[in-house]
Amino acid sequence: MALAPYNITALEEDFATAQLSGKNIVAGALITLATTGGTPVLMADDSAGSNPSLTKLTDALGQKVIWVETDVYDLTVDGNASIRIAVASGDDITPETQAALDLKVDTATTNFNEFGGLAANDYLAQGAARSTTLVNFLLPINMFLTPTTITVTGTFQIRRPDLTTLATLVTPTLNSLTSNKIAVLECAITGAVVNEPLILLSTDASSKIVVNA
């Protein structure tokens, strides 16, 4: 059977590590692939099946294209929990591979513009005090056009990096500096120190911000 490509990008999930390195990708991440039954799968470097191996590494950009037979697999990157993927090419998409794609690509895995709504004290964004009474937080979003509104459910809290609480029951608004890739939130508070770093957290499981398209 012909081989089909699958592109893998390893992302740094730990915010602190990404801040220190200045990168949100992981170079040299270890890639393994297995059938849904747990059998390790050989991965090649091209359509000719060159350099077959049970492990591959991401490049300096945190990416790697693997070539395998079209099927449904369990992919593991850098020892993290495996995810189910479907490798398909053109007419090779079957009901089984489509089902795997439907599981992977849904609102839970591709909703890039909704934040919170899961639990209390969830870290949602980092920002800094513009003045003693105003704080801006930055949310990474993915849109074609610059959003002009947000929908806020519940309230939020603001803490300093040492976890002391600066404000509670906060309701963020959308600042005009927002772009199609960064939503700039603004919060009114008291007692902030200009330019001090601050953290936006959920108050409870109902706290949610949706950046509207």
Q: What is the pLDDT of residue 112?
A: 78
Band of residue 55 on the pLDDT scale cut at 50, 70, 90: very high
CATH code for the domain of 7 = 2.60.40
Contact criterion met (CB below 8 Å) for 15 and 126: yes
Same domain assignment for residues 8 and 103: yes
**Domain end residue (candidates: 54, 76, 110):** 110
Helix (H) or strand (E) holding 75: strand 71-77
Nearest residue to 125 via CA among 104, 145, 139, 111: 139
Sign of CA dihedral 164, 135, 154, 104: negative
Give CA–CA dist 204/176, Å, rounded: 27
pLDDT digits (tens, 9 = 90+) for 86-129: 887 654 555 555 555 555 545 555 567 889 878 999 999 999 99
Per the listing, tokens 């999930």 go with: 13
Average pLDDT, the chain: 85
Task: Using DSSP bridges, classify how beta strands 30-35 and 134-140 pair: parallel, antiparallel or unpaired.
Answer: unpaired
**Domain end residue (candidates: 110, 132, 151):** 110
When divided into structural domains, the chain yields a total of 2
Write down how long the chain is: 213
Q: Which two tokens stand for residue 68?
A: 């395998």
Q: What is the pLDDT of residue 98?
A: 56
Same domain assignment for residues 91 and 175: no
Q: What order do you get walking across the sheet with 114-116 strand by strand?
A: 114-116, 208-211, 150-153
Q: What is the pLDDT of residue 213?
A: 81
Give CA–CA dist 156/23, Å, rounded: 28
Q: What is the pLDDT of residue 21?
A: 45
Q: What is the pLDDT of residue 90?
A: 53
Residue 17 has pLDDT above 80, yes or no: no
State residue 57 phi and psi, 5-degree precision. -120, 145
Question: Which amino acid is it at 172?
Answer: P
Same domain assignment for residues 70 and 134: no
Give CA–CA dist 63/12, Å, rounded: 12
Give CA–CA dist 147/17, Å, rounded: 29
Q: Which of 62-76, 83-97, 146-160 has the lowest mean pLDDT?
A: 83-97
**Domain end residue (candidates: 82, 110, 138):** 110
Domain span at residue 142 reads 114-211
pLDDT digits (tens, 9 = 90+) for 127-149: 999 999 999 999 999 888 899 99
Which residues are within 8 A (CB) of 80 and not within 5 positions of it... i.e. 6 or more apart?
A: 13
Q: What is the pLDDT of residue 19?
A: 45
State residue 196 phi and psi, 5-degree precision. -70, 140
